[in-house]
Chains A and B, each alone.
Chain A
Amino acid sequence: MIRVGIVGGAGYIGGELLRLLSGHTEVEIAAVTSSRLAGRRVDGGHPNLRGRTDLAYVSPEDLPECDVLFFTGSTVADREGRAALTARGKIVYDLSPDLRLADPAVYRRHYGEHPAPDLLGTAVVGLPELYRTRLRTADLVSVPGCMATASILALRPLSEAGLLEPAVTVDGRVGSSGSGASAGEMNLHAERSGVLRVFAPLNHRHQAEIAQATGLDVMMTATGVDAVRGVQVLCHATLSEDATEQDLRRLYRAAYQAEPHVRVIAQKRGNYRLPEPKILLGSNYCDVGFAIDPGSRRVLLCGALDNLVKGGAGNAVQCLNIRMGLDESLGLDFPGLHPI
Chain B
Amino acid sequence: MNVACPECVADVKVAQQPELNEILECGECAGELEVISLDPLMVAVAPEAEEDWGE
Contact = CB atoms under 8 A, between A and B. Distances in A.
Contact of A270 (B8, B10, B30, B45): B30
Interface string B1-13: 0000001111000
A166 B32 CA distance: 36
B29 interface: yes
A266 to B, nearest CB: 7
B48 A269 contact: yes
B9 A268 contact: no
Interface residues on A, range: 10 to 19
A250 interface: yes
A275 B10 CA distance: 19
Contacts of A249: 8-10, 28-29
A270 B45 CA distance: 15
Interface residues of B, number: 12
A246 B45 CA distance: 14
Interface in A239-260: 245-246, 249-250, 253
A245 B6 CA distance: 11
A156 B14 CA distance: 33
B32 A269 contact: yes
A267 interface: yes
Interface secondary structure of B, over-half rule? loop
A92 B9 CA distance: 43
A233 B45 CA distance: 29
Given A268-B48, A269-B48, A246 B32 contact: no
A117 B54 CA distance: 49
B54 to A, nearest CB: 15
Nearest to B27: A267
Interface in B12-52: 26, 28-32, 45, 48
A250 B9 contact: yes
Interface in A163-201: none
Nearest to A264: B28
Interface in A212-271: 245-246, 249-250, 253, 264, 266-270
A269 B8 contact: no
Contacts of B26: 268
A269 B9 contact: no
B9 A266 contact: no
Contacts of A273: 30
Contacts of B48: 268-269
Nearest to A246: B9
B6 to A, nearest CB: 9
B23 to A, nearest CB: 12
16 contacts: A245-B7, A246-B8, A249-B9, A249-B29, A253-B28, A266-B8, A266-B29, A267-B29, A267-B31, A268-B7, A268-B26, A268-B48, A269-B30, A269-B48, A270-B30, A273-B30
Interface of A: 245-246, 249-250, 253, 264, 266-270, 273
